[in-house]
Amino acid sequence: MSSRKIHCTLEVNHVEQDLLVHADETLLDVLREQLALCGTKRGCNHGVCGACNVLVDGMLVRACLMLAVEVDQRPVVTVEGLADGRGYTDIQQALVAAGAIQCGFCTPGFVMALTALFAREPRPDRDTIRNALSGNLCRCSGYVKIVEAAERLAELPR
Amino acid sequence: MEYLAPETLDDACRALASDGAYCLAGGQSLVAMMNLGLATPERLVSLRRIAALRGIETATDGALRIGAMTTHAELAGLDEGTAAASLLAQTARVVAYPAVRNRGTIGGSVALADPAADYPVALVALDGIIEIASDRGTRSVPARDFFRGMFETSLAPGEIVAAVRLPAPRPGTGVAYEKLCVVAGDFAIVSVAAVVTVEENAPGTTGARDTDIQVAVGGYGMKPILLSALGRLDDPVGAAAQQLASHGDPPGDHRASSAYRRRVTPALIERAVAAARENSRRRPLRARERS
């Protein structure tokens, strides 16, 4: 493996980051190891579990399946960037209120998937919620509470 | 590993000519394989800057040309005014998970040719054509010849899938994609794409009649299996099952046994054909008149 690094500029949680990355480093590698943003989890590292979900250009993606060089000049939002340091978002609060958190490892991925869902569809029904979460695994199998949290949020007057 | 992101198809083809060079489209399979140590490219040629690989063109007769870098999410949102667009949209909506659909591309899926992938099945059923670019120019291969086996296609080294073309469907055509999987977003245990042409008020009948049925089955062999000329039969599903049987036993794997696949596939074909007839009725009248 060549040690030659590539310069790229990522805008992570509204902060511009100048980085040197290896061509085979993923966005997940860079977030966790260079930027110490460890809210984005490394679960399966091959796209199945959804624990590394982040937003790139406002779109939900797997950080483990995107090479960091391909994210050059594009905005990234991780779970740390959602509430902007001011408490929690409605989605995060809904998960807490419903008791939708067990060990918590998968939670950031679910939060990002729900953030993408509610951004495009503020009143999703159960089927839509379950579909939106189809790419997220919870090894505690706590899906019922997670779906309930999203359903309650969808019904809240806003 | 070297990383290149050329801006033209010509440059990409040249860059791909070296040993150990891989095309990077959406990366939803390749990066996973790299992470697992199953692929170790010496050079990655990213296709993300090549404008010629993007965009969807619809001809006035309803024929489609879809750039290889079109994502599953983009295809899922296609206007279902024509049968070909409808089948692609139905298929794209059940490819993997939302996050993967935002990045994965039709060209990448076609070039990889996973035997349980979704698009190959739909493209074979629709008589699709794969447009291939290389430094020698472009050539077109019918989907039914393009897929040769497990992860095997008629692509030669240095060639890139540039686009997928779908001919204009005949008037009265309905389509459906039925996928059986363990959980939503997984690869198919078996999947069926059905293309049914229905003639309303057919002469000598009191109602509608299927004039043509073509079905492709995925996950049943190493490549999609085409079952054709099923129209105007009393029992098209039975005939399809009979044709299918001549292809031998389906594979057994961690998703399902061979016997299970054999047992459920006729039911899936029946469901797909019924849904395709229904889809034909639902298609807006203006689209049917136009085509």
Contacts of B5 in chain A (CB under 8 A): 69
Query: In B2-63, where do the E strands start and end?
Result: 2-4, 21-24, 43-46, 56-58
Q: Place B235 in a pLDDT band, splitting at 50, 70 and 90.
A: very high
- Alpha-carbon span A95 to B259, nearest angstrom: 43
At residue B288, the pLDDT reads 46
pLDDT at B206 over 90: no
At residue A157, the pLDDT reads 81
- CB–CB of A135 and B185 under 8 A? yes
Q: Place B184 in a pLDDT band, splitting at 50, 70 and 90.
A: confident
**Chain A closest-CA separation from residue B157 CA (Å):** 22
- Alpha-carbon span B220 to B12, nearest angstrom: 35
Among A60, A65, A136, beta carbon nearest to B31: A65
- CB–CB of B31 and A113 under 8 A? no
**Domain locations along chain B:** 173-290
Among B24, B35, B44, beta carbon nearest to A46: B35
Q: Is B1 on the interface with A (CB under 8 A)?
A: yes
pLDDT at B99 over 90: yes
**Closest by alpha carbon to A68, among A11, A114, A14, A110?**
A11
- Alpha-carbon span A144 to A130, nearest angstrom: 10
pLDDT in tens, A92-130: 999 999 999 999 999 999 999 999 999 999 999 999 999
| CATH 3.30.390.50 at B173-290, yes or no | yes
At residue B249, the pLDDT reads 96
- CB–CB of A135 and B27 under 8 A? no
- Alpha-carbon span B36 to B30, nearest angstrom: 10
Higher pLDDT, B61 or B143: B143
Strand, coil or helix: what is B4? strand
Give ipTM to 2 decimals. 0.94
Q: With pLDDT > 90 as the criterion, what percentage of chain B qualifies?
A: 84
Contacts of A117 in chain B (CB under 8 A): 98
Higher pLDDT, B175 or B234: B175
Count CB atoms within 10 A of the CB of residue A84.
10
Average pLDDT, chain B: 93
pLDDT at B245 over 90: yes
At residue B284, the pLDDT reads 57
Tell me the backbone φ, ψ of residue B161, rounded to 5 degrees. -70, 120
Q: Is A26 on the interface with B (CB under 8 A)?
A: yes
At residue A148, the pLDDT reads 98
pLDDT in tens, B62-72: 899 999 999 99
- Alpha-carbon span B239 to B262, nearest angstrom: 15
At residue B283, the pLDDT reads 73
Q: Place B289 in a pLDDT band, splitting at 50, 70 and 90.
A: very low
Domains of chain A (ranges; CATH) run 5-82 (3.10.20.30), 90-155 (1.10.150.120)
Strand, coil or helix: what is B19? coil
pLDDT in tens, B84-94: 999 999 999 99
For residues B73-78, give the mean pLDDT.
96
At residue B105, the pLDDT reads 98
At residue B204, the pLDDT reads 67
The answer to whether the CB of B12 falls within 8 A of the CB of B5 is no
The answer to whether the CB of B159 falls within 8 A of the CB of B168 is no
Interface size A-B, in CB pairs within 8 Å, comes to 83
Strand, coil or helix: what is B14? helix
For residues A62-70, give the mean pLDDT.
98
pLDDT at A28 over 90: yes
At residue B277, the pLDDT reads 93
At residue B183, the pLDDT reads 87
pLDDT at A1 over 50: no
